[in-house]
Amino acid sequence: MSVAVDKWAAGNSCAYLGASVLAVEAQRPNSHARSALDGPVLSQTDLYLLNTELELNPILTRSNPSFSLVFDLSNGSTGGFNEQYADRDLPFAQRDEPATLPRVQEIIIITEHSPWCTIVKNDHGVTLHDICDRVWKEYTENLITEGELGACPPRVQETIKRAAQINAQNAAPGWGQQFYSPAPPAPNRYRRIDWLRDRHFFDSVIKDDGYAVSRLGFRAPNIFVMKLAAF
């Protein structure tokens, strides 16, 4: 009796890769010491030389029928649900699955909702968790510069400042839980997450070479566009 194998499960990617990709891995030093089930992990050089088309994990494209990812960029929380049972929260058990097949050491993520570029790296192959963790830190640990804020129209600057106030309130312990809780002071520095205003929830990841060229001036197999949503 045959057993169905999930190609996205960690360690099951090798059988789904092309011969040219496997040939690259066979030439690496110590490649025989690794399990064949690990599959190759393409470096930037490998990726550009082979011009390999990458297949995105269906969780990223929101095409997995049994799991829809819920990822809040403002606090890094991840989870999910099955659309047939939307009232039941599910843990992000697929976090260690590869983000792409073939696996790659580096993925570049841009979005229409901000001017920044997020580079996700993992020498052992970028995973779903790597993407969520890196994007969360990109937007919560980096400040908007005065030049970046000043380049925005006054109306947009005000919406960013209001978003910063709301984010500060949401992050303050006990805020909103007791009527006498003082509001946290308005921030005088703004984080990249504030730039997103209310669009700080993950929606999907797509391939859009036209948009990549318009933003970066070039396209590459590992450049993807992240769509964000407001809930």
Mean pLDDT by 10 residues, the chain (231 residues): 65 57 49 47 94 96 97 97 90 98 98 97 98 98 96 96 91 53 63 97 98 97 97 80
In the chain, at which residue ranges do the beta strands (DSSP E only) sit?
41-42, 55-56, 68-71, 78-82, 85-90, 100-101, 103-104, 106-110, 117-121, 201-206, 223-229
| pLDDT at 124 (0 to 100) | 97
Residue 80's φ and ψ, nearest 5 degrees, are -175, -175
Residue 100 domain-assigned (yes or no): yes
| pLDDT at 134 (0 to 100) | 98
| pLDDT at 67 (0 to 100) | 97
**Of 96, 15, 99, 9, whose CA–CA distance to 58 is shortest?**
99
Residue 96's φ and ψ, nearest 5 degrees, are -90, 5
Residue 201 domain-assigned (yes or no): yes
Residue 6 domain-assigned (yes or no): no
SS3 of residue 98 by DSSP: strand
Domain enclosing residue 196, as ranges: 14-142+192-229
Contact in structure between 110 and 216 (CB atoms under 8 Å): yes
Residue 1 domain-assigned (yes or no): no
What is the number of structural domains in the chain?
1
